[in-house]
Amino acid sequence: MSDLKKKFEAAVANSKNLTERPDNATLLKIYALYKQASSGDNTEKKPGFVDMVGRAKWDAWNGLKGTAEKAAMQQYVDLIESLS
């Protein structure tokens, strides 16, 4: 396993133990980076208009389309470290 993958997994674990809850925009960024790093580009169907939370998550993840898996992992690690 690569060092980046280990750092990413550690950051995922650390994200559950942050001292204070990040704002919604930061939470969406965390979600989107995690999905991009673990699943790649968003290929899921866009949620309907009434599912505002699902739609916000979908939009955040879709905004990272084309970002390489390793780049998303590194951004995720950096973001979680900045919040810890």
CATH number of the domain encompassing residue 48: 1.20.80.10
Cα separation, 51 vs 41, in Å, equals 21
pLDDT in 10s for each residue of the chain, 84 residues: 689 999 999 999 999 988 889 999 999 999 999 999 999 999 999 999 899 999 999 999 999 999 999 999 999 999 999 998
The reported pLDDT for the residue numbered 2 is 84
**Predicted TM-score (pTM) above 0.85:** yes
The reported pLDDT for the residue numbered 84 is 83
The reported pLDDT for the residue numbered 68 is 95
- Give the orientation angle of helix 52-62 with respect to helix 24-39, to 10 degrees: 60
The reported pLDDT for the residue numbered 29 is 96
The residue range of the domain holding 57 is 3-83
Residues 10, 71, 81, 52, CA torsion sign: negative
Number of H helices, E strands in the chain: 4, 0
The count of domains in the chain is 1
Distance of CA 62 to the CA centre of its chain: 11
